[in-house]
A = this chain, B = another copy of it.
Amino acid sequence: MATSNKQWLLVSRPKGPVEESNFRLVEKEVPALQDGEVLVQVRYLSLDPYMRGRMDEAKSYAAPQKLDEVMIGGTVGEVVESKNPAWAKGDLAVGMGGWQQYFVSDGKGLTKVPRGLPESVFLGAVGMPGVTAWYGLNEICKAKAGETVVVSAASGAVGSVVGQLAKQRGCRAVGVAGGPAKCEHVVKDLGFDACADYKAEDFKERFKAAVPDGVDCVFENVGGPVFDAALARMNPFGRVALCGIVSAFGGQDISIKHVRSLLTNRVLLQGFIVTDHMELWPQAMKELGGLVAAGKLKFRESVAQGLESAPRAFIGLLKGENLGKQLVKVAS
Contacts and interface: CB of A to CB of B under 8 A. Distances in A.
A128 B248 CA distance: 40
B61 A266 contact: yes
Contacts of A236: 61
Nearest to A53: B264
Interface string A262-282: 111111111111001000000
Contacts of A276: 266
Number of copies: 2
Instruction: Give the interface SS of chain A, mostly helix, strand, loop or mixed.
Output: mixed
Nearest to A259: B254
A253 interface: yes
A61 B253 contact: no
A237 to B, nearest CB: 9
Chain A interface size, as a band, is 20 to 34
Nearest to A272: B266
Contacts of A256: 255-256, 259
Interface string A191-202: 000000000000
A51 interface: no
A244 B268 CA distance: 15
The 7 closest A-B pairs by CB, nearest first: A263-B271, A269-B269, A61-B264, A255-B257, A262-B271, A254-B259, A266-B271
